[in-house]
Structure 1
Amino acid sequence: MPPKQTKGEYIETDTGNKVSRKSVILGSQNIILGGKTIIQADCTIRGDLRRTVAPGQQSGNVAIAVGRYCFLSRSSVLRPPGKIARGIYSYYPMKIGDHVFVGEGSVVEAALIGSYVHISKDCVIGKFTIIKDCVRIEEGTVIAPNSVIPSFSVVSGRPGVVVAELPETAVEGLERA
């Protein structure tokens, strides 16, 4: 009789995503992972928070869409943005591009995060923030709700402001990281 196999810490999907068994994923039917994405332990992804619609209306069921080659570090939180609309608190979809790194302990409630974005450790990304492609957010940064961060920017501070620009060759460096 062969020895019993022990379960690994990660579950691997057909598309190459690796999800820690110790992560908390709520509403998984409303979350799309593009492929080759890694979700570490203690991450929380709130797919159960999705847009409420009136009876008889059609709505997409996707609450969070994550692109390819993304990395969600330990204790990070992805939560779709929400607000009161027509007297009802409603959540809106969150879209994350390819090659996005979310650092340890960061909380993200953005509406859109472009590709090649590096969010460092202990950051807070406010509701309905739009982060364009190729952006680096420094450690401990707090970005105010409804902010728009332009491409090739370095953001730092509380509240987060653009402190520098990245060269156009930064995409290759962020892709390797």
Structure 2
Amino acid sequence: MELSTVYYNRAEYIETDTGNKVSRKSVICGSQNIILGGKTIIQTDCVIRGDLRRTGGGHAVVIAIGRYCLLSQRSIIRPPYKTYKGIFSYYPMKIGEHVTIGEGSIIEAATIGSYVSIGKNCIIGRFAIIKDCCCITDNTVIAPNTVVPSFSVYSGSPGAYQDELPECTQELYENKSKDYYAKFTPLD
């Protein structure tokens, strides 16, 4: 299926040297603790919480997002947290390349691999690990600490294994994310 061109208001987006397109209407806290790999699109009303980090020394990078990712409108990305030995702490989150996060989804995973599609209105629980080449369908709730294996489709509440993805998933998701980026065009 051919993707149609998506037009956006050039004044609403900031474009970085590495090709990231970030909506001025998104909320990005602690930007010094967030790394964007390049050619990532962060749409309107997204919330990325880079300010939630461990106090004291240690990791400065709170959220790392790979190349060609799409964070759709109203998605929320915040690092996972837990209390360990009486101390409340946030932990870093890593999102791979060619990852699409649907509208209204809330992400608190420890790791999301590359070539992953997360549908609309999903909740990815704290410290979940989503391996490479996965599909999480719309309205799915992935419980905290769940490991979603490669080439699997998860859906439901709570999210459960539904199907297997073909070996060409990596190519399909890569082509889709590059095509979306190419067709995300400013109105002039």
TM over 0.5: yes
Gaps of 5+ in 2: 1-8, 177-188
Provide, for residues 22-68 of structure 1, a one-character-per-residue CA deviation record: whole Å limited to 9, x for no partner: 00000000000000000000000000001223xxxx31201100000
Bigger radius of gyration, 1 or 2? 1
1:15 deviates by 0.6
Quickly say closer, same or farther: Cα 1:121–1:7, change in 2 above 3 A. closer
State whether structure 2 residue 70 is matched by structure 1 residue 84. Answer: no
Aligned to 1:22: 25
Q: Secondary structure at the match of 1:104?
A: coil
Identity percentage over the alignment? 67
In the alignment, the residues of structure 1 paired with residue 121 and residue 85 of structure 2 have an alpha-carbon distance, to the nearest angstrom, of 34
1:176 deviates by 2.1
Gaps of 5+ in 1: 1-5
* Structure number with higher helix proportion: 2
TM-score by length of 1: 0.93
Segments of 4+ moved more than 2 angstroms: none
In the alignment, the residues of structure 2 paired with residue 145 and residue 7 of structure 1 have an alpha-carbon distance, to the nearest angstrom, of 38
In the alignment, the residues of structure 1 paired with residue 168 and residue 32 of structure 2 have an alpha-carbon distance, to the nearest angstrom, of 37
Superposed, which structure 2 residues align to 1:121-132 within 5 Å?
121-132=120-131
Provide, for residues 92-129 of structure 1, a one-character-per-residue CA deviation record: whole Å limited to 9, x for no partner: 00000000000000000000000000000000000000
Output the aligned Cα RMSD.
Answer: 1.1
Aligned to 1:165: 164
Letter in 1 for 2:45: D
Aligned to 2:52: 49
Greater RCO, 1 or 2 (C-alpha within 8 Å, sep 6+): 2
State whether structure 2 residue 70 is matched by structure 1 residue 106. Answer: no
State whether structure 2 residue 118 is matched by structure 1 residue 119. Answer: yes
In the alignment, the residues of structure 2 paired with residue 21 and residue 41 of structure 1 have an alpha-carbon distance, to the nearest angstrom, of 7
1:173 deviates by 1.4
1:7 deviates by 6.6
In the alignment, the residues of structure 2 paired with residue 13 and residue 112 of structure 1 have an alpha-carbon distance, to the nearest angstrom, of 25
